[in-house]
Structure 1
Amino acid sequence: MKETLQHVEQMLDESPVIDVTETFERMKGILTELKAKIDARFELTRDPASPGDYGTHPQGPGGRLDAYAGPEVDWMVHSWLGNPTASFANLHLTVWLGPHIRVPHLGIALLVWPEGWFYQDYMPRTSLPRDGDYFDSYYTPLEADWLSFREKNADFVWFTSRTSFIRASLSPNAFCYSFPRAQQHLDTVRDVLHDRVDRWLEWVDEAEPVPADEQPLLAEADLAMRRNIAERDPANVMGVRYFGSEQTERLVRGLWGGDRTLPRPS
């Protein structure tokens, strides 16, 4: 099995500068489709503190970050950042559930640098080695599909982050691959993501409620994980490159809810 073992900025800087707007727009379209499914299931309100549009796209680097919350969703982020006319874009759709259930959170990211990259994971709400029943409910059923994808898609190259925290944050069945920007590969990514979102929505509908006295501790753990992942993401360096430290810090807070005005679900 081949492997990608480079920093994001290293891959970008060592590649030719090309216009990847077509791939970027296709990736945006995939996330829009997935968000529509999520919007249809949950009651969501856009947080007024969301950064919204920033930068000078399409003339130069830019982006948009929208964050949402609702009775069942602690924090949902739909965002992109980059400069597609100069080889790079980073897109996110992440849903952090409220503490009323223990279904794993949903994480999705797409990247073009100028090759393609995608990530999808179900972030656990407990220690997987400690909680065998939780593992068997949400992770054991994914093993066959995860192994099949890895064995059958030779053009998808496993991505190993050079940052140990990011490696530690992945579940055993995460997707984290680089791939050539061919149309058929984007179709494959789209199919995988739709399947994963559909499965996740079924889990949400079938979930047992968490006892009220256990919810505050779960909510606290969720927020700590979300903030750590946002603040420790090595790709934040691209935000600093394009927009400076102050704007990047604001965007990172947008990812974890540091400036939120909407209440957290109780």
Structure 2
Amino acid sequence: MSEDTVRHLADVLDSRPPVNNVEVFQYLLGVRECAWEMVHSSLNLREDLKCSDIRDIPDLQGSIVGNIHTYTGERIDWIVRSWIGRPETGFTNIHLTCWVNNEIDVPHLGFALGTAPDVFCYVDFLPRYDPPASFDHLNAYLEPMNEIWIELRRNPRYKTFNPVHLYTRGVLSPIAICGLLPFADFKAVVEPVMLKYVEQWVKLVKQARPIPPAERLALKRRDEIVRRTIVEKDPANVLADRMLGVPMRERLVRILYAGERE
């Protein structure tokens, strides 16, 4: 990519010829697993088996085109570790989304990788409160990553993916990394930063102190609204519709926002 992208991901994919991205996909899956190991080895988690019947996700023809695992645990409300796609033709989408519970006010962790066919990359600390009105929250949790974010944005090899969808763009925090760039550039300049974000997020969760019980219900309600709206209104759902069909995509969306759980 020669410049920043301001297009729907589906339109970017449709404008490019099919590309065999199997090797890149396997590499990106390894990066996600590295992030997962940081989370899994540091936090007390258990797998939620409600969606175990579609752990391997079938397409409309019955071929396996994805995998999904969900978890919950101490201080953690919901984690989704998943992928869908057809790497042999270019499109893949890999996730590790971590939603903390309402006992602490640490930001949630959003982490995604994929190919379209260039590398899509996203990592963010999703604030739990209105950012302009929550200086202490941002200063405590996001400010430590600000210089890392600025350094990456100044690197000419990093190319930003700007979501066309207003709500999606509105959810991004001031330190969100959201890019679409060649694999070599991702590997050189973005991958190390994404893993630094995960490492820092794990530390924040481990060090978090409980918030007063009186504040927890409002936090829970806000989290549930944001989590559900993000996945239900995602413009990239059209790509899942093509591959899986609408009923399966609708079920996966429910799982993503924890609408199906034990």
TM-score for both structures, normalised by structure 1: 0.92
Give the residue type in structure 2 aligned to 1:193: M
TM-superposition CA deviations, 1:210-232 (whole Å, max 9, x none): 11222222122111111111111
* Residue of structure 2 in register with 1:195 after alignment: 196
Q: Say which of 159, 165, 168 aligns to 1:166.
A: 168
Give the superposition deviation at 1:252.
0.6
Q: Say whether the 8 Å CA contact 1:97–1:105 is kept in structure 2.
A: yes
Give the residue type in structure 2 aligned to 1:83: R
Within 5 Å, which residues of 2 pair with 1:150-229?
A: 150-152=153-155, 154-182=156-184, 185-229=186-230
Count of residues in Structure 1 that have an aligned counterpart in Structure 2: 258
Give the superposition deviation at 1:99.
1.1
1:149 aligns with 2:159: no
Give the superposition deviation at 1:141.
2.6
Q: Say whether the 8 Å CA contact 1:61–1:82 is kept in structure 2.
A: no
Any idea what SS the aligned residue of 2:132 has?
A: coil
Give the residue type in structure 1 aligned to 2:57: Y
Give the superposition deviation at 1:56.
5.7
Give the residue type in structure 1 aligned to 2:149: W
Give the residue type in structure 2 aligned to 1:144: E
TM-superposition CA deviations, 1:105-124 (whole Å, max 9, x none): 00001110111110110001
- In structure 1, what is the Cα distance between the partners aligned to 2:82 and 2:195? 18
Give the superposition deviation at 1:60.
5.6
Give the superposition deviation at 1:61.
6.3
* Residue of structure 2 in register with 1:82 after alignment: 85
- In structure 1, what is the Cα distance between the partners aligned to 2:215 and 2:59? 45
TM-superposition CA deviations, 1:91-148 (whole Å, max 9, x none): 1101100111100000001110111110110001111111111121122232222111
- In structure 2, what is the Cα distance between the partners aligned to 1:246 and 1:159? 29
Give the residue type in structure 2 aligned to 1:164: L
Any idea what SS the aligned residue of 1:172 has?
A: coil
- In structure 2, what is the Cα distance between the partners aligned to 1:100 and 1:128? 20
TM-score for both structures, normalised by structure 2: 0.93
TM-superposition CA deviations, 1:58-93 (whole Å, max 9, x none): x96611111111121100000101111111100110
Give the superposition deviation at 1:186.
2.0
1:62 aligns with 2:68: no
